[in-house]
């Protein structure tokens, strides 16, 4: 493994995680979830894959990353629905079980780029509709001292595991596993334990909206990475993802402001 790339992985991944976590603590679960929906780990994974495995491999992995949002959506919906009735550990067990079944099923299906482009947004929209309106209630969550370091270690370990095993996994599995929702999963559990099911639901609802920026990021990568300048491709993909995420954030803030004005009209 290239030493410089290895060092970059060790620095970049925990830095991204720390930044997003602190923003989420400041602005709440919904905004935090929206930021988590960005390709914070799978984006760096894609960069390292193209540098270490080549452009064609990275294009295949990008399609796999888009497909990987289908089991991620299954996990998100399962956790929220389970959390309304069961404890955090039963909700987590149900969610990870369904995720495993769906990702295994997708891995054996011959789903090409064209079908992926149609199917994935449809699944994301279905997931948002099933999750429903933003959950209310719940308590403020006081994070434990080990929370941020644990997230940084988990994210970095996942990135190292996927990129190190890329040769044996192949491009499809590398892509499918890259969006594994390690942040969503751990933060949803913590939110559920500390703030109740509504806190976990708000987080996951935010994540589900953020996944639309994720899919646009990898759509750009898949379309351009084999032929275009790598720096330009990843800058464009990042810009498009941020624009999509920013648009969704603006709509959410506008809707929240409208709701506040409706409840407290100006006299």
CA dihedral (98, 102, 104, 105) positive or negative: positive
Q: Tell me how many domains the chain contains.
A: 1
> Pick from 207, 239, 244: which is nearest to 224 by CA?
239
Q: Domain of 235?
A: 3-263
Residue 168 has which token pair?
């044996």
- Structure letter (DSSP) for residue 33: H
Query: pLDDT tens per residue, the chain (267 residues)?
Result: 557 667 777 887 788 778 777 776 777 666 777 777 788 777 877 888 888 888 998 898 898 889 989 999 999 999 999 998 999 889 999 999 999 899 888 888 888 899 999 999 999 999 999 988 765 555 555 667 777 787 788 777 876 776 676 656 766 676 677 677 776 777 788 778 878 888 888 888 888 888 999 999 999 999 999 999 999 999 999 999 999 988 988 887 776 665 444 444 444
Q: What distances in angstroms separate CA 16 from CA 4, 28, 40, 105, one per listed residue?
A: 18, 18, 7, 31
The label of the residue with tokens 């969704």 reads 248
Q: What is the value of pTM for the model shown?
A: 0.79
Q: How far apart are CA 246 and CA 251, in angstroms?
A: 9
């Amino acid at each position: 493994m290239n030493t410089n790339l290895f060092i970059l992985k060790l620095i970049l991944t925990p830095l991204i995680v720390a930044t997003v976590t602190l923003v989420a603590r400041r602005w709440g679960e919904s905004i935090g979830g929206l930021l988590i929906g960005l390709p914070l780990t799978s984006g760096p994974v894609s960069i390292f894959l193209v540098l270490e495995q080549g452009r064609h491999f990275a294009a295949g992995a990008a399609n796999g990353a888009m497909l990987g949002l289908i089991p991620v959506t299954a996990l998100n919906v399962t956790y929220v629905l389970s959390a309304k009735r069961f404890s955090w550990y039963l909700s987590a067990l149900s969610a990870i079980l369904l995720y495993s079944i769906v990702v295994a099923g997708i891995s054996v299906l011959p789903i090409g780029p064209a079908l992926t482009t149609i199917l994935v947004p449809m699944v994301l929209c279905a997931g948002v509709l099933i999750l429903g309106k933003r959950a209310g209630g719940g308590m403020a969550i006081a994070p434990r001292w080990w929370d941020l370091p644990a997230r940084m270690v988990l994210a970095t370990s996942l990135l190292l595991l996927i990129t190190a095993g890329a040769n044996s996994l192949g491009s499809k599995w590398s892509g499918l596993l890259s969006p594994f929702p390690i942040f969503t999963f751990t933060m949803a559990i913590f939110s559920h334990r500390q703030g109740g099911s509504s806190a976990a639901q708000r987080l996951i609802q935010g994540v589900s909206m953020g996944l639309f920026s994720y899919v646009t990021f990898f759509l750009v990568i898949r379309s351009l990475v084999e032929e275009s300048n790598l720096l330009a491709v990843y800058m464009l993909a990042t810009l498009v993802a941020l624009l999509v995420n920013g648009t969704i954030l603006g709509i959410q803030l506008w809707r929240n402001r409208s709701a506040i004005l409706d409840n407290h009209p100006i006299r």
